[in-house]
Structure 1
Amino acid sequence: PFEGSRSWAGARPELRAIGHDSNGVAAHMGLLRRFIKVGEVDLLVAELGLYGVRPDLEGLGISHSLRVMYPVLQQLRVPFGFGAVRHALQRHVERFGRHFPATVLSGIRVRSTLPDARLDLPPTRMEDVLVVVLPVGSAMSDWPTATLIDRNGPEL
């Protein structure tokens, strides 16, 4: 995801969680509180992103990472945790439901601004992704029904 000289430093997450084991960095995740627009509704969320896990730990890390982050989400008093992932990760993220009240939504396009202004590209991009919603301070029934989410900024 980060090409050339890019790093997650420019993403400005509010919180970065980095897990280590005896072999070094095992996994990392970032969090950013922001207002997104779900259909016509402005909604405060804690966007979870910048997720990565070392290849030898794939399939083990994200549930543990969310167990660590969930109390932080509660302390931040956000109604929802929000994330977007590629369709190829559907089976992986659906495992969240074993440990968390997460809901995976499909058929939703997510609009983000590009991280850099370029004259040869439009200022935003649309992605057909899976949306992961984690109810924290609100019930899942309070999540608006929509086919478009506008991040009001770049992807975390």
Structure 2
Amino acid sequence: MRSQVRWKLCWENELQLSDHIELAEFFRRTYGPTGAFNAKPFQGSRSWAGARPEFRAIAYDSSGVAAHMGLLRRFIKIDGSDLLVAELGLYAIRPDLEGLGLSSSFRVVLPVLQELGVPFGFGTVRPALHNLVARFGRGGLVIVKSGIRVRSTLQEALLDKPPTRIDDAFVLVVPVGRPISDWPEGEMIDRNGPEL
């Protein structure tokens, strides 16, 4: 599968309007089947849902966008301790390519994480994606942690909702510049911003 896709690794400001339009359509088609609400943020040419990524890994094949992962450096708090991470999110694989091994080719972001000098990559996945998370954890590249609550701000301040939400999610940790033993133990992670 990896030989059939080509990866574009780019900073957010390198994307053209046509890239955003193509990505927005890709996310609507990919996230839409999981619920109309999941596709809602990607209206028009908007190619991000919460926080906007600073870097993207985009896979293309003969049918267009095949897969995507966004990256954003930020400080999170784990039980009050600050930690610099590269948050990984906006993860998607086109439905016709799921189960064909494309997810393992996301290793293309490792050199970028190393170049950025972050100690860890960090991401969250909702429990419904347990099987996907289990596959990531098998190779040892990603450490999967459960039993951790993650607080995020909402993308917009709404009058009828609290400004933050708390999720019970699987936490994915990628040791980059430090060993996994340096990851702080804790039961609550504060994103201090919207999820990627």
Q: TM-score range by the shorter chain?
A: over 0.9
Hey, which of these two has a bigger chunk of helix by percent?
Answer: 2
Separation in 1 of the partners of 2:138 and 2:110? Answer: 14
TM-score normalised per structure 2:
0.75
* Structure 1 equivalent of residue 103 of structure 2: 62
TM-score normalised per structure 1:
0.93
C-alpha RMSD of matched pairs (Å): 1.5
Equivalence map 1:1-156=2 (5 Å): 1-3=38-40, 5=43, 7-8=47-48, 11-59=51-99, 60-65=101-106, 67-156=107-196
Instruction: Report how far residue 10 of structure 1 moved.
Output: 6.1
Give ranges in structure 1 of 5+ residues lacking alignment: none
Hey, which of these two has a bigger chunk of strand by percent?
Answer: 1
**Identity rate, percent:** 66
> What SS does the corresponding residue of 1:11 show, helix, strand or coil?
coil
Separation in 1 of the partners of 2:137 and 2:129? Answer: 14
Read off the aligned partner of 2:159 and give its amino acid letter: L
Read off the aligned partner of 1:147 and give its amino acid letter: E
What is the total number of aligned residue pairs between the two structures? 155
**Does the Cα contact within 8 Å between 2:79 and 2:189 map onto a contact in 1?**
yes
C-alpha distance after superposition, 1:88-140 (max 9, x if no partner): 22221222234443110000010000001111100000000000000000010
Q: Which has the larger radius of gyration?
A: 2
- Higher relative contact order at CA 8 Å, sep ≥6: structure 1 or structure 2? 1
Give ranges in structure 2 of 5+ residues lacking alignment: 1-37
C-alpha distance after superposition, 1:52-88 (max 9, x if no partner): 11001113232211x1001100000100000000112
